Amino acid sequence: MITKLRRNSPIAAQGKRYPFQVSIVAWGDLLGYGGRIAEAAFNPLDERAKASVSRMREFHRIVAEHSNRHFPTLVINDGVAAFRDLSLRSRSVGHDFLEKSWELFNAVNAAEVERGDPGIRMVVACGFRMRGRKAKFESNHDKVNSILRRFREGQLTAEQAIQEASTARPSFDVVPQLQANFAFTKAYVAESSGSAGGLPGRSFYLDTALLSDPTCEWPSGGDGILWRDNVLGLDTVFRKVVNFPKVKHPEGGASELRTGLEVAQFLAGDLDVLKALRSSQK
C-alpha cells in the first residue's frame, strides 16, 4: 500500500472521463432512533412514536437546508448520505465537501442536544465508484401525456402544467452516484459498526486515506483508529475529528488533503492508476 505519494505525480487530463470515479461519501445516522421506534412496536399511532417522528422530520429539515448542487444528499429515514466525486486535479472539491459535511454534522447535533436526543454519528470515506446511468424517464407516461394534452387544449395554464408535472415520477429511479460506490459501502458499514468497530458515540470520523499524511495535525482530532470489516475485507484508518479549520488556499502546499488522483493511487496501490483506468476502457 502506498503511504506517501509524490506531489508531482502525473496530472490527469482535464475533462477526461474514466469508467471509474473517485468518490467521497459522508454517511450519518441518528443514534438510538431504531430502538425508540421499536419501543412503540413500529406503530406511528403509538404515543411513544410521536417524538421519534418529530425528531426525524426535524432531521430531514436540517439536511434539506444544507443540501445544494455541490452537496447533494439522499435521506433514508434516520440516515443521510452526502456524496460527490473528487477532482483528480484539485484539492478544493474535497475541502468544500468536508466543510459542508462538518457543518451538517454540527447543525444536526445542535438540534439533537436541544431536544435531549443522542445525536448523529457521521463517517466520511473515500473509494472508487463505477459510472452509472440515470433512470430513464418514460416520455409516454400516461400522466405526462395527460398533462400535455390538457395544456394544449387550454384546460391547464403553463404554471398549472409545470406544478403537476413536478409530481410525475418514473416507475424506476436510482441515484447513479451511489451505485457500485465503494466509498458509500465503507462509510455505511463503518458507521453501522459503532462502538464494536471502534467508532462510538456522537462523533465525526474521517477516512485518513484522504490525507497525504495520516499523522498530520489537520484536521484536529485524535489518534488513528484502525477499522476493519472481516466479512467484506474492508479496512482503513479513521480519525475522530473535533475541529475542521478552514484552509485558505487548498491548492497550496499547506493542504494535507489528497487530490482525487492521489487518493486513487493510494487505494489502488499503483502510481500508474490512470494507465490502468485507460486500459480498462479498451
Indicate whether 126 pLDDT > 50.
yes
* Mean pLDDT over each residue of the chain, to the nearest integer: 85
Interhelix angle 273-280/260-268, nearest 10 degrees: 80
| pLDDT score at 246 | 85
The three-point CA angle 121-123-125 to 5° equals 175
| pLDDT score at 7 | 46
Helices (H) and strands (E) in the chain, counts: 8, 7
What sections of the chain are H helices per DSSP?
Answer: 33-39, 50-66, 92-115, 142-152, 158-165, 182-193, 260-268, 273-280
pLDDT digits (tens, 9 = 90+) for 207-231: 999 998 888 888 888 889 999 999 9
Indicate whether 143 pLDDT > 70.
yes
| pLDDT, greater one: 134 or 273 | 273
Indicate whether 138 pLDDT > 90.
no
Confidence of residue 280 (pLDDT cuts 50, 70, 90): low
pLDDT digits (tens, 9 = 90+) for 21-58: 899 999 999 999 988 888 888 888 888 888 899 999 99
C-alpha to C-alpha distance for 43 and 189, rounded to whole angstroms:
27
Q: Where are the domains of the chain?
A: 20-133+178-280, 135-173
pLDDT digits (tens, 9 = 90+) for 85-105: 999 889 999 999 999 999 999
| pLDDT score at 1 | 43
| pLDDT score at 159 | 83
Integer angstrom CA distances of residue 142 from 35, 139, 157: 42, 9, 19
**Cβ–Cβ < 8 Å for 118, 185:** no
- Please give the share of the chain, as a percent, with pLDDT higher than 90: 51
| pLDDT score at 69 | 93
Q: Architecture of 20-133+178-280 per CATH?
A: 2-Layer Sandwich (3.30)
C-alpha to C-alpha distance for 50 and 105, rounded to whole angstroms:
24
Residues ≥6 apart with Cβ < 8 Å to 48:
36, 39, 40
